[in-house]
Every structure is written in structure tokens, then in C-alpha cells.
Chain A
Amino acid sequence: MPKFESNPFRPELATIQDIIQETSNILTFRVVLNDEEKMREFSFQPGQVAQLSVFGVGESTFVINSPPTRKEYLQFSVMRTGEVTQRLHQLNIGDQIGVRAPLGNGFPVDQLKAHDILFIAGGIGMAPLRTLLLYMLDNRQDYGDILVIYGARSPEDLCYTYEFDEWRSGGVRLVLTVDREFPGWKKRVGFVPTVLTEEAPSSYNCIAVTCGPPIMIKFVLIGLKRLDFEDHQIITTLEKRMKCGIGICGRCNIGTKYVCVDGPVFSYEELRQMVPEI
């Protein structure tokens, strides 16, 4: 039988090296490609995504949330939501999965240089922003002040708590918030958009990068506009149901754009030119 020269549908086999319990429903997987040379040569941009396979169950899309500056493993944070994530949550260290990556466009890291950066994340929306944040910490001199506003439903729903100190020591100002009062919680209380308005960061020479549930994004955009952020100063990364991940199967389109190849990262300027169907 003829063999394909290249096949974008064929995943690389990979081994789960480590699993971190982030919250009650989010696990972080550290994964290494079985082919050592491919692992060594694997290159990507922060914000690019992967299709992870559990053979027999299917594929699903996740951002690579370790930065290209740290290549010992590829990291994925997975919230237990559908069939594939359910099965991923049952896997153990040493188990085999498939990885098709990198897919999509990634954050414009060069354009962001010499700017102050405002990260606004809600829940699992921190996953893609973490990639960019760590990338910036590893290239700290290229970027200005970094403010992170990160919210979750409860203190137990915050991810990456074990590395907050590392973020802070890299010069990140980290504002944490949860939706309501919790015993022992001494930080902010309130929804992310409200905290954004309270913090009122300056839009001067600043780029806002946001990811979270659609309802949060909606009000964050309103908040950013009030703070005089221009459309091109706002960047977000979208999620859609995807299958092929390579711009063919048709389901992740917003008008003429396919989130899997034209995105998932879009500026608000780009989003406003698309049909309103997000």
C-alpha cells in the first residue's frame, strides 16, 4: 500500500510524563513526544494549539500552555467537560496519547514587544495566557510592565497557584479575584470585569490579552473600551468546536475565517470585521 509523504491527520505518539491536579476538574498533563528527534525539533509560537488524541475515544483541541522557551515537555491543561477530556482525566503517567501540533496562529509576540501587557483571564482561560506570560518572563527585557487580573469562581478553582511566586518574582503584578466571599480568602472578591474597572490600568502603550468564558469576554471588552483601549490593543484567543484542526472540515468558521488556522488568536480589530457569530 502506498504511504503518504505527509499526513496532517496522523498524530505523533506521545507519553504522559507528569500529571498535576490544578482544581477539582482541571488536570495539567506534561507530555513528551516518543520520537526524540521530533521532540527536540518541535517548535511553536505561544498560543498555538494541539489536537490531543485518546485512541478509541477521539481528539480534542488544547492550547500548548508551556512556552517554547521551556521545551522539556509540552504542557496541556484539561478541564473535564466532554468525552475526550473525561477519558484524558482517567489516564496515568506513562500512558500513550496522540499529539497533532502545532496548529493555529499563536500570539503576535514580536508586535507585543516594548509594550506594557495586561492579562485578563477567567477560569481555564488562564491556560493560553500562561504560555504567553511565561514566554515573556523568559524574555523579560523585551516587555514592559505586566499586570495579570485572574479570576475564578472560588479559590479552589484557580490554576497554577504553585507558580504564582515565580510570576511575581519576574515582576508581574498579580491581581486575583473570586466570584464571592470565601472563608480565609483575603484577596479581591468580584467578577473579572468589575476588578478590571477598579484597577483601571492605563491604555497608554499597553496591549490587553484576554481569555475566558464568552460572558466574561463580553464585559471585559466593554471595560477595556471605557479605559480607552483601541480595538487593535485588545487580543483574545477563541475556542470553537474543532475536528480536523487544519482548515478543512468546516465547523469552526466565523464567516470567512477558520478559528483553527486563522486563529485561535485574534485582535478585537479583526473580530469586529467578522460576522457576529462567536
Chain B
Amino acid sequence: MSEKIFIAQGELTAMLERLSKEMDVWVPVEMGDEKWGIRFLPYHEDTIVVLDRQSTISPKNVVFPQVETLLRFRYQKDDNDPSKQRIDLKDRQDVSSALVFGARPCDVRGFHTFDQVFLNGRYKDPYYEQRREKTLFATLLCDTKDSACFCSSVGSGPGDREGSDLWIVPVDDGYVIQALNDKGRKLIPIMGKQATTEQIEKAQRIQEQVTAKRIGEYDLTRSARDFTDRFEDMDYWRDMVSKCISCGICTFVCPTCYCFNITDESRDLEGERIRSWDSCMFYHYTLEASGHNPRPEKFERYRNRVGHKFSYFPDTYSGMISCCGCGRCIRSCPVSIDIRRVVHHLKEAVDAEV
């Protein structure tokens, strides 16, 4: 019982203040200028937290920064042989504990995809591992769907608590917050006062109502075979993707898109090897030095993105879809390509509609 606390709307800032003394607290923030939308930033005293809408960009940057140093190198004179250089290499990183406050179930679900690839593959990514272990998620029950949302179509839902450490249910004038595991439990005493029975019951009712909701009309979880059957149907893919301008925003805002580039940046005798978000929507992504490109056309690149999420990934990771249904790619796409439609129609031709 003592694990459920209540925070009134007016006490939220003070609570975040207390939490931010213990760890980095990442919250959804409106960037002043509307064109930047809402994104997750470290909390500070002037921050205005936005919890009534989904963030424009997912919080994947907390665990997987857009740009991250992998190595630092420095050329130095070799003391034993002054005509030669030696290289000093450093690969350490200093990561502090973090709490992502106010993410949605779809955002958290994105990290299931990341975990498979970065932690459970043949090699473990130590940079990701360190951040992942030190990051907690206080996730908001989601009652603000819009027409692009489709989390239930990919096996999740607005009340999906999987992967979260703390669970936030908005009630009339505040939030009932509950720990879902030991990591979350440790923060409860800092967060607030015990909720009343009435508040807990109310939160329970809301949880039940929201969990019963189905967001998204299609079932997209069993499309792997349909994808491979449709793979060589160039007309289908060309039709579906003809409007695409290869801008890559769908991958940028996507909570499950993890592809990255590695580049060296140097100045004089020292520099860094950095990794940064990349996008399979870009022509250069697969372009080889010889000039050969296995995915030179945009329909091939888009097809790979759809295949990765709805066919290759479930084929590799026992049926798991690497799409969390957040709808950001649909919302952000400048030419309104709708991945739900592309996947749903794999089964049957859609000549009439196109």
C-alpha cells in the first residue's frame, strides 16, 4: 500500500526538484518555439513540464544520445624513438543515474528493441549497457491518443506497464504514482506522501478504463510472411513510397530506430571517435566506396525499414515487432506516408486505393 503516493499538480515541480538532487531527471519540455516541438531535456528550475501531450521526439536520446563519444585518441611522440608516434586511447565514459519522468508506454517499449540488439546479441554494447542500467522510467498512463496512435496494433496498449520502474496515473488534480520494482521503490520516499484509499481506487478505475481501450484498428503483429511474399512486388512498394522525399524524419523521431554511424573528428593531434544517429532512409547509408549501393532506390530503403520492424526483427527475436505504435513517423512525415497502411495492405493488393 505504502508504495502508492499522490502528488498534486501544484507539487509536481517541487517533487522534480527533490528528485533532481539525486539524479538527472529528464522531462518532456516544450522548446519555446513551436517548430521544435516537445522533447526530453534534463530538468532545471525554469522547466515547464508538458504531460498532456506526447513528446515530438521520443526519449531514446537519454539512453542512446544523438551524438556520443566512443573513444578519445591522441598522437604523441614515442619517447623511445622520437622519429615515431604512438597513440593514446581512452574509452571510458562517466554516466550518472537518470530518471525519465513522463514518458509514455510506447516510448518505454522502444527500449525493448534496443535491448535485444545492444545487450542480447553476439556482442554487448558497453556504452548502451551502462546508460540503460542507470536509467529509470516513471511512465505516464496514456490517455491522450490522437489519430496517428496505434500501440494496440503492435501488441502494446495505453496501459502497458512493461519496462517501466514507476507508473504514473493522472487523477483529477494530480498523479498517483506507484513503484513497479525495487529500483522504482527506492524513489518513492523522495517523491511524496501516501495516496488516500479514494485516490488509489480512482487511479485503479482509470487504469482499468484505459487498459481496456484499443488504440489502432489493425493487427500488425503477424505481417512477417506477408512482407516476404510482397518483397519483390516493386509496384506495391513504388506506389506506397512514391511521395517519400528520403528526409529521414521517421527514423529520427522513432523510439525503436537505433541505426548509427561512426565517424572520427580530430583537430591537430587529438580527436574523438563518435557515434551518431543515422538513418536507413538515406542513400549514403549503404553506399559502398566502390559506388555499389545495395539499396539505391527510396522504395528499397523504405521497404527495408518496414521489413526490419515487421518481418526481420520478429523473425530474429521470437516474434517481437520492432515498432511501438507511437505514431511519430506518421505525425512527422512531411508527405503523410502512413506505415500502418503500408503494413496492413501487404496481404492484399490495393490498386483501387492507390
Contacts and interface: CB of A to CB of B under 8 A. Distances in A.
A241 B89 contact: no
A6 interface: yes
Interface residues of B, number: 58
Interface in B222-267: 228, 231-232, 258-264, 266
Interface string A42-59: 000000000001011111
Contacts of B261: 243, 249
Interface stretch (A7-15, A146-154, A169-177): A7-15
Nearest to B315: A256
Interface stretch (B35-43, B179-187, B192-200, B304-312): B304-312
Nearest to B129: A4
Interface in B103-136: 117-118, 121-127, 130
A17 interface: no
A277 interface: yes
Interface string B74-107: 0100000001111101011111000000000000
Contacts of B264: 55-58
A13 B73 CA distance: 11
Interface in A240-276: 240-241, 243-244, 246-256, 261, 275-276
B289 A248 contact: no
B295 A3 contact: no
Contacts of A13: 86-87, 89
Nearest to A4: B126
Contacts of A247: 117, 121-123
A243 B142 CA distance: 37
Contacts of B123: 8, 246-248, 261
A123 to B, nearest CB: 10
B118 A248 contact: yes
Contact of A9 (B91, B289, B295): B91
A243 B287 CA distance: 12
A99 to B, nearest CB: 12
B92 A275 contact: no
B312 to A, nearest CB: 4
A187 B120 CA distance: 53
Contacts of A57: 264
Nearest to B92: A1
B126 A7 contact: yes
Contacts of B71: 9-11
Nearest to B128: A248
Contact of B266 (A55, A96, A244): A55
B91 A10 contact: yes
Nearest to A278: B294
Interface stretch (B14-22, B54-62, B278-286): B278-286
Contacts of B121: 246-248, 261
Interface string A22-55: 0000000000000000000000000000000101
A82 B92 CA distance: 30
A96 B92 contact: no
B271 interface: yes
B118 A249 contact: no
Given A81-B290, A277-B295, A278-B294, A96 B280 contact: no
B84 A248 contact: no
A96 B258 CA distance: 32
Given A13-B86, A85-B289, A250-B280, 11 more contacts: A6-B124, A7-B126, A55-B73, A55-B89, A56-B73, A56-B75, A56-B264, A59-B262, A248-B117, A261-B121, A278-B294
Q: Which 6 A-B pairs have the closest CB atoms?
A: A82-B289, A250-B259, A56-B266, A246-B123, A81-B289, A1-B92
Interface of B: 70-71, 73, 75, 83-87, 89, 91-95, 117-118, 121-127, 130, 228, 231-232, 258-264, 266, 271, 273, 275, 278, 280, 285-290, 292, 294-295, 300, 304, 307-308, 311-312, 315-316
13 contacts: A4-B92, A8-B123, A9-B71, A55-B264, A55-B271, A55-B273, A241-B289, A246-B121, A250-B258, A251-B285, A256-B315, A275-B231, A276-B231
